[in-house]
Structure 1
């Protein structure tokens, strides 16, 4: 029984950390330019890994407390919101990269010979 209680505390701690990470990320992504998405993602991944390791040690799925299932559903909703925000952030990054790429290509096409035109002219 002591092992179960120890696991319960660990699960509660991990779920609490995961929820704080998600709340922080959901509040700051796309708003705070200093937000480190990579570091936040590493923290989320670590929590999910720890939960996976604890879950493997459970004797059966029925060993999980109903209160954790409720908390897990709540966190699943936060993860869905987080997924949408991360996807929107990545799409915005792709758009900026495309704009920069187009600007660089336009700057290269300033009326002077391109590299391809230069090669062709050198062969003639």
Structure 2
């Protein structure tokens, strides 16, 4: 097997794996309570690292039409993944803020807290 064919197979394999990981993550975010985002991120990071290593010695012109199409598809899925992950993180942050505010409000007894006291200068 020639080096060029082997390189092409590795590229196709990594792109295909990355596409599958992105599909699973994009489907799982926000809809599957048991989805393991940490594991998915680890798989995605590994695929992206492998692509980086493979592409170090390649120019875009070295890719065939099918690889360019697959790369464009993966790029679109990465863009969607970025939007979904950002929305997910913002939702988690908002929920954490609501919990924090609820706990703070439930602990308040109507008197000034130390933080509120510090906010005002006494003369």
Q: TM-score, normalised by structure 2?
A: 0.85
Superposition deviation, residue 46 in structure 1: 0.7
Unaligned runs of 5+ in 2: 117-123
Question: What are the superposed Cα offsets for residues 52-88 of structure 1, whole Å, 9 maximum, x if unpaired?
Answer: 1011133x43222221111111111111111111111
Taking the TM superposition and a 5 Å limit, the aligned residue runs for 1:1-124 are 2-58=2-58, 60-111=59-110, 114-115=113-114
Partner Cα separation in structure 1 for residue 103 and residue 10 of structure 2:
52
Distance in 1 between the 2:107 and 2:7 partners? 61
- Please list every run of at least 4 consecutive aligned residues from structure 1 whose deviation after the TM superposition is greater than 6 angstroms: none
The C-alpha deviation readout for 1:32-53, integer Å capped at 9, x for no partner, is 1111112111111110110110
Helix, strand or coil at the partner of 1:39: helix
Greater shift in the superposed pair: 46-55 or 105-114:
105-114
Aligned length: 117
Write 1 or 2 for the structure with the bigger share of helix: 1
Give CA deviations for 1:99-123 in whole Å, capped at 9, x if unaligned: 0110111022123674569xxxxxx
SS of the residue 2:56 aligns to: helix
Deviation at 1:89, TM superposition (A): 0.3
